[in-house]
Structure 1
Amino acid sequence: MDTHWLRRLLLVAMLGAIAACATPPTPVSEIPDNGAETTAAGETEPTTATAATATQIVALTALTADIIHTLDDDTLVGIPGSRILREDDRFADLATVSEGRTEPDLEKIVALQPDLVIGAKGFHDKTLERLQAMDIETLTAEVNSWASLKRLTQDLAQRIGRDPQPLLARYDACLAQAPATAPTALVLVSRQPLLSPNQDSWAGDFLAQFNIANVTADYQGESPFEGYITLSAETVLAANPEALLIVETGDNLLEQLQGDAFWSQLKATQTDAVYRFDYFGLVNPGSIASIEATCRKLSQL
């Protein structure tokens, strides 16, 4: 390992010690730009006029890891600990730099000597700021619509000098499965509270692309998650959608909802128009394969 990267590893140790006794960090919106970072979904501002081609990338999200590996299977050197990636043999020999929702391991990242690290807006901000302080280029990704997914893919392809068109063609083929007409629908992702996506979310945009009338598309209100709103049982009954899309995350949400008094009064339950969806694909894009699986399932409503 050369002295340049050794100095970076020493800096990681110093930053870790400082972070352990520091006051809460300043919100990201109040921190001035000091490196290459995304200012909008899929759009970046490099520190130089033309960003150098990246050859060693650490991706902190499953989706960006999948996009990079699909574009070029020799560029990715580090990945997050994700169920989707663990189940995919293509990623078996790559270093894992994070697990679950814990903060990524800075020392592991720096040891991989990356020339680009990609993270998720809001979740990896602190990690990316620390890497920028070590002059490691970063990119902050936010995918909350199909348009932002396409922009991100084009940007990543440009950064590694690859053609995005084959992957963009897969996206177009996915969207081509959208029916001309579709039922009104309500997506439920949790029970306490009842959460549903509006139009400002990946799930909301996905439904719109498939001509599915999301009954909560225009709803606004207080919610712990951006792009999602909290519903009451009375609101669900008033909306009375033709189809119910239940997002499973391993806690048997559908069985829980079936025990609620309002459930049997809904049109969708009475006509057996209740569909289970995986969290990856509909709520969290997850991977290209999970997005394509969701396209197929939505086309069958």
Structure 2
Amino acid sequence: MQVTKKNQTIAICIMLLVVLLAGCGRSQAPSAVEKSQGYLSITDDTGRTVVLPHKPEKIVVLSTSFLDLLYAVGGKAIGRPGSKTGGIPSAAQDVAEIGYVYNVNLEKVVSLQPDLVIAFQGIHDKLIPALESNKIPVILVRIKSYQDVVEKLKLFSNIAGTMPKGEELARDIDVKVNDIVAKVPDKQLKVAIIHATAKSVTVELDNSITGSIAKQLKLHNVASGSRALESDPDATPYSLEKLVETNPDMIFVVTMGYGAEVEKRMKADLESSPAWSTLAAVQNKQVHILPEELFLLNPGLRYPDAVAYMAKIAYPEVFTHVK
């Protein structure tokens, strides 16, 4: 049978169509970012879909932990929170302040007329109605775990229009963190993570920033599996009795402001409490107050530094080279 050129063309087209349909039939992982509507369609960490009609030029961030990620991928902000602990990129030092992470000045935010507000899930949720009523697009994002850092680098680079830069930075962080984790010995150390402020004390769970880093380093959080507080899904109530019962090898302390004051108070408690003195961590001088800039809010691009810092405390015999 003679095959004409026309028939060959039809056959090729049919084959291509079959390949395309087969590809479309495969299941694909849901994406948080789509380019199909306007400039960008984003599904934030609460499941809200926010469509940006054009590339944002006037971004306000409500958490300092977003700044280094945003600026690293070539983005910039016109508004940011103030900080008592530093951590503001040099390029963002002169950016207008809009209060603090836990006390945002909403009027100031609105006055800046932003075309995008990046808010922290779990802290700024209640601000959404007011921002939306002022026709301000806002996304709620979570940056606590290592995976969150990688995902937000890619998200922010999508927003800034610099996706290759975000992917490059994500790969760099991945290499550094994996290099540390690969050296972790299997010692099965037990740790407790205490979150202390001038007003309250709680114990952090695995899904907290410090808890997720401890888990990566194969440290067993004695509070793992405990019931979370209604007001804070990352923490459980502090109980000295439970601490004595689980008897951790190490205690990590994360403070929020007034670090010296909290440290002084904790040392006084340690010295005056007979129960504290029975803990292995106390007897072996393994109570460590962690730096606020690495463990209070997500360290962002400094995530490998936070992992290395805790690794040196937990396994000093392995990580002697870490400063």
**Which residue is equivalent to 1:54?**
56
**Which residue is equivalent to 1:10?**
none
**Which residue is equivalent to 2:154?**
154
Choose which of 144, 166, 169 in structure 2 pairs with 1:167: 169
Distance 1:166 1:133 in 2: 37
What letter matches 1:147 in structure 2?
Answer: Q
**Which residue is equivalent to 2:248?**
241
- Equivalent pair of 1:38/1:141 in contact (CA under 8 Å): no
What letter matches 1:133 in structure 2?
Answer: S
Distance 2:99 2:43 in 1: 21
Distance 1:229 1:93 in 2: 38
Distance 2:228 2:161 in 1: 43
Matched, 1:268 2:281: yes
Q: Alignment partner of 1:187: what SS?
A: strand
What letter matches 2:277 in structure 1?
Answer: S
Q: Alignment partner of 2:254: what SS?
A: strand
What is the CA-CA distance between 1:242 and the residue it aligns to?
A: 1.2
**Which residue is equivalent to 1:282?**
295
Distance 2:84 2:180 in 1: 27
**Which residue is equivalent to 1:29?**
none
Matched, 1:219 2:222: no
Distance 1:246 1:125 in 2: 27
Q: Alignment partner of 2:214: what SS?
A: helix
Of 123-132 and 235-244, deviating more is: 123-132
Q: Alignment partner of 1:188: what SS?
A: strand
Gaps of 5+ in 1: 1-35
What is the CA-CA distance between 1:112 and the residue it aligns to?
A: 3.1
Distance 1:265 1:152 in 2: 43
- Equivalent pair of 1:196/1:216 in contact (CA under 8 Å): yes
TM-score (normalizing by structure 2):
0.71
What is the CA-CA distance between 1:165 and the residue it aligns to?
A: 2.1
Of 83-92 and 128-137, deviating more is: 83-92
Distance 1:207 1:280 in 2: 17
Distance 1:274 1:175 in 2: 26
Distance 1:154 1:87 in 2: 21
What is the CA-CA distance between 1:186 and the residue it aligns to?
A: 0.9
Q: What CA RMSD, in Å, does the superposition of the two structures yield over aligned residues?
A: 2.7
Matched, 1:40 2:52: no
Distance 2:241 2:121 in 1: 34
Choose which of 204, 211, 225 in structure 1 pairs with 2:211: 204
Of 138-147 and 176-185, deviating more is: 176-185
Distance 2:88 2:116 in 1: 25
1:57-78 deviation per Cα after TM superposition (whole angstroms, max 9, x unaligned): 11110011221111115x2211
Distance 1:270 1:299 in 2: 21
1:18-51 deviation per Cα after TM superposition (whole angstroms, max 9, x unaligned): xxxxxxxxxxxxxxxxxx875426x762236xx5
Q: Alignment partner of 2:180: what SS?
A: coil
Distance 1:99 1:137 in 2: 20
Q: Alignment partner of 2:91: what SS?
A: helix
Q: Alignment partner of 2:119: what SS?
A: strand
Distance 2:246 2:180 in 1: 26
Distance 1:82 1:232 in 2: 31
Distance 1:269 1:298 in 2: 18
Q: Alignment partner of 2:148: what SS?
A: helix
**Which residue is equivalent to 2:143?**
143
Distance 1:187 1:123 in 2: 21
**Which residue is equivalent to 1:190?**
196
Distance 1:64 1:244 in 2: 28
- Equivalent pair of 1:62/1:286 in contact (CA under 8 Å): no
Matched, 1:96 2:97: yes
TM-score (normalizing by structure 1):
0.76
Matched, 1:180 2:193: no
Distance 1:296 1:53 in 2: 36
What is the CA-CA distance between 1:194 and the residue it aligns to?
A: 4.5
**Which residue is equivalent to 2:122?**
122
Matched, 1:294 2:297: no
Distance 1:224 1:126 in 2: 14
Distance 1:137 1:245 in 2: 38
Distance 1:135 1:296 in 2: 43
What is the CA-CA distance between 1:84 and the residue it aligns to?
A: 4.2
